[in-house]
Amino acid sequence: MHLPKFLIFLLVIVIAAFFVGVGILVGARMVNGGVTKSDPSLSPYSAVYLSTGDVYFGILGWSPSPHIEDPWFLQRSTDATGQTTVGAYPFAQVTWGPSNAVYFNAQDIVFWTRLSSTSTVAEAMANPNSAPAPESVSPPEVPPVPTEQTTSTMATSSKPIK
């Protein structure tokens, strides 16, 4: 069967439009950190928890690799009385003078999340000159990262996994 050139041209246009549309949707999700709708309850900032236990805050991007722009980091310390202080600090103020972006190995990211617009960290990042001093608080409870040893001790079922 031989299709007229007009129908072949029309079919090529429809297929190209489909792929362009899919590309735009995927690109929008990547640019917005997987969030397609603009949610007023979310700030433009994200938190990234790494397998090392480090936590970084900033504007999360995924291309060409996972990275945070205008990064801040979480620092925990213990004073002489045993009180733990936790604070978020601009990464650019570290003594060795890093660039204004931190790039991550994707395998080291345990989880990431967008910060609420009412988050203390998001507010401090939006207004760095009015950031409060770190408070004495207990460190947040963070789930442990599964290791080879802990995964072998997890509960098992006698039914095979399909």
Q: Is residue 147 part of a domain?
A: no
**pLDDT above 60 (res 51):** yes
Confidence label for 138 from pLDDT (cuts 50, 70 and 90): very low
Q: Whole-angstrom Cα distance, residue 133 to residue 151?
A: 39
Are β-strands 55-61 and 84-90 bridged in parallel, bridged antiparallel, or unpaired?
unpaired
**pLDDT above 70 (res 113):** yes
Q: Are 63 and 108 contained in the same domain?
A: yes
Domain containing 47 equals 38-142
Q: What is the CATH number of the domain that holds 135?
A: 2.30.30.100
Q: Is residue 27 part of a domain?
A: yes
Q: Is residue 158 part of a domain?
A: no
Average pLDDT in the 131-136 region?
A: 44
Peptide bond just before 66 cis, omega within 30 deg: no
Give the number of domains in the chain: 2
Q: Are 71 and 96 contained in the same domain?
A: yes
For the stretch 92-105, pLDDT in tens is 877 777 788 889 98
Planar angle of CA 124, 130, 132, nearest 5 degrees: 70
Q: Are 122 and 46 contained in the same domain?
A: yes
Q: Are 7 and 68 contained in the same domain?
A: no
* pLDDT for the residue 111: 92
Beta-carbon count within 10 A of 41 CB: 8
**pLDDT above 80 (res 148):** no
Residue written as token pair 């999340």 = 113
Q: Are 61 and 96 contained in the same domain?
A: yes
Q: Which of the residue ranges 20-34, 109-123, 140-154 would you say has the lowest mean pLDDT?
A: 140-154
Q: Residues of 117-155 as b/e, b for ≥16 C-beta within 10 angstroms?
A: eebebbbbbeeeeebeeeeeeeeeeeeeeeeeeeeeeee
Q: Is residue 12 part of a domain?
A: yes
pTM for the model: 0.57
